[in-house]
Chain A
Amino acid sequence: MIHGHQSWLFDQKPVILASSAVGGPFEAEGLLADDFDILHEDLWLGQDSFEKAEKKMLEQACEQSIDKAGMKKEDVHFFISGDLMNQIISSSFAARTLGIPYIGIFGACSNSMLGLALSALMVNSKAAPYILCGASSHNASVEKQFRYPTEYGSQKPPTAQWTVTGAGTALLGLEGDGPRVTTATIGRVIDMGLSDPFNMGGAMAPAAVDTLEAHFRDFNRDPDYYDLIATGDLGEVGFSIAADLLKKHCHPIPADKFTDCGLLIYRKDQGAMSGGSGCGCSATVTFGHFMKRMRKEELKRILVIATGALLSPLSFQQKESIPCIAHAVSIEMT
């Protein structure tokens, strides 16, 4: 199954039986509103904390995927999930509600593809017939933990990004119709010494490029193989750095098939600065928007490279730089 140095080729081609996306009020005003299964008008979701609201969204996204696949949660063997909260509480607490045996992961905003890659690996190796994976983030809970509470009203430079309020999940199995997970490339931790939490895209871009190059090298592919190559949440600043780096490293990707989930999700005039970010960004865009387009056969082969900044509030306060990672997963209609 190992292919090249850091990639997996899934010969059984695990199927994404169902996937879903849940979002908040800001996402409802965005470009991809139609691709969400549930959109909430209230940022609190009727809960008494933003953290509980995030957990609730993840629970709903899980229920949606299980329902759409026509299954019951007892049929799902494992739940793999991650988020940005300290000790990944959104995932663990959602797993408490679901009661599905649970594997908690942390790859920051790369959780969506890390979870999908691990799920595909387990399904492919027959470790379990059905696995649910997901990731979530909430604008107010994440901003509070990593930067400032949003109600504090602190200024942000234009390089800053807008954390997506959303959760995305996918249910994988061996047999069935739907997009199939064919390969995955696990990234290295890359740290270029950047330490500005208001320019995460710039910090993460080299990690995305490293994983993309590893993917093309491991499978001896070039970008033409794919209809669409999407990075997770680099935003305008990080995305243009990544595109430039790829050009410099002689792996240019044509502009018409290269995009970023953080650039797709919001309208330009929404005030999201450099674009969307957070676990929920790549999770909702991939499991909502991309999966819908694949099922409509508008896209046949896509590669999603979810990027994550592996800092903690403490490491930032101690003036550490931001180590970054990116994981790539290819999804194909076969």
Chain B
Amino acid sequence: MITIIYFWAFVIGGLICVVGQLMMDVVRLTPAHTTSTLVVAGTILGGLGLYEPLIKFAGAGATVPISSFGNSLVKGALMEAERTGLIGVLTGIFEVTSAGISAAIIFGFMGAILFKPKG
């Protein structure tokens, strides 16, 4: 039973990536637009309560793609809103994702200091 989630992680994760690839190759979106669109799709699915069941079903297949970032934004905002009211939407939006964002900034900064791009 434990192995079946690996199968669905593979399928669902792959499908999300296929959607991204199609957006770039067929719809001709830029990489930045593709990423943003997937994030927004994740927030909408998260807001409708559909993303969490997808994570339960496919595990990392749903948490690794960038759409999961959108879901986490909504999750943080909703959690904080429940605790502190409407203002929590603003203060909570980066609550769940702050580790990821901070890591990206700090490691990016360290990488830029230590290494020179090959071009």
**Is A151's CB under 8 angstroms from B119's CB?**
yes
**Is B31's CB under 8 angstroms from A150's CB?**
no
**Is B31's CB under 8 angstroms from A44's CB?**
no
- B85 located at the interface, meaning its Cβ lies under 8 Å from any Cβ of chain A in the complex: no
Residue from B25, B117, B118, B119 whose CB has the most chain A CB atoms within 10 Å: B119
> CA A129 – CA B17 in complex, angstroms?
61
> CA A44 – CA B117 in complex, angstroms?
10
Taken residue by residue from 50 to 94, chain B's Cβ proximity to chain A (1 for < 8 Å, 0 otherwise) reads as 000000000000000000000000000000000000000000000
Q: Which of B24, B28, B117, B119 contacts A139 (CB 8 A)?
A: B119
**Is B24's CB under 8 angstroms from A140's CB?**
no
> CA A157 – CA B28 in complex, angstroms?
10
Interface of A is mostly: loop
- Closest CB of chain B to A165's CB: distance in Å? 9
How many chain A residues sit at the interface, stated as a range, is 10 to 19
Q: 8 Å CB contacts to B: which residues of A265-286?
A: none
**Is A150's CB under 8 angstroms from B119's CB?**
yes
B28 neighbours in A (Cβ, 8 Å): 196
Interface of B is mostly: loop
**Is A155's CB under 8 angstroms from B119's CB?**
no
Q: How many residues of B contact A (CB 8 A)?
A: 8
B116 neighbours in A (Cβ, 8 Å): 44
Taken residue by residue from 139 to 165, chain A's Cβ proximity to chain B (1 for < 8 Å, 0 otherwise) reads as 110000000111100110100000000
Q: 8 Å CB contacts to B: which residues of A178-217?
A: 196
**Is B119's CB under 8 angstroms from A157's CB?**
no
- A50 located at the interface, meaning its Cβ lies under 8 Å from any Cβ of chain B in the complex: yes
Which chain B residue shows the least CB distance to A26? B119
Which chain A residue shows the least CB distance to B116? A44
B24 neighbours in A (Cβ, 8 Å): 155
B117 neighbours in A (Cβ, 8 Å): 140, 149-151
Q: 8 Å CB contacts to A: which residues of B104-119?
A: 116-119
- A253 located at the interface, meaning its Cβ lies under 8 Å from any Cβ of chain B in the complex: no
A196 neighbours in B (Cβ, 8 Å): 28
A150 neighbours in B (Cβ, 8 Å): 117, 119
> CA A149 – CA B28 in complex, angstroms?
19
- A43 located at the interface, meaning its Cβ lies under 8 Å from any Cβ of chain B in the complex: yes
Q: 8 Å CB contacts to A: which residues of B20-43?
A: 24-25, 28, 31
A155-B24, A157-B25 known; A43+B31 contact, CB < 8 A: no
> CA A151 – CA B119 in complex, angstroms?
6
**Is B118's CB under 8 angstroms from A151's CB?**
yes
- Closest CB of chain A to B26's CB: distance in Å? 11
Q: 8 Å CB contacts to B: which residues of A9-45?
A: 43-44
**Which residues of A are interface residues toward B (Cβ below 8 A)?**
43-44, 50, 139-140, 148-151, 154-155, 157, 196
A-B contacts, 20 listed (Cβ < 8 Å): A43-B118, A43-B119, A44-B116, A44-B119, A50-B119, A139-B119, A140-B117, A140-B119, A148-B31, A149-B117, A150-B117, A150-B119, A151-B117, A151-B118, A151-B119, A154-B31, A155-B24, A155-B31, A157-B25, A196-B28
**Which residues of B are interface residues toward A (Cβ below 8 A)?**
24-25, 28, 31, 116-119
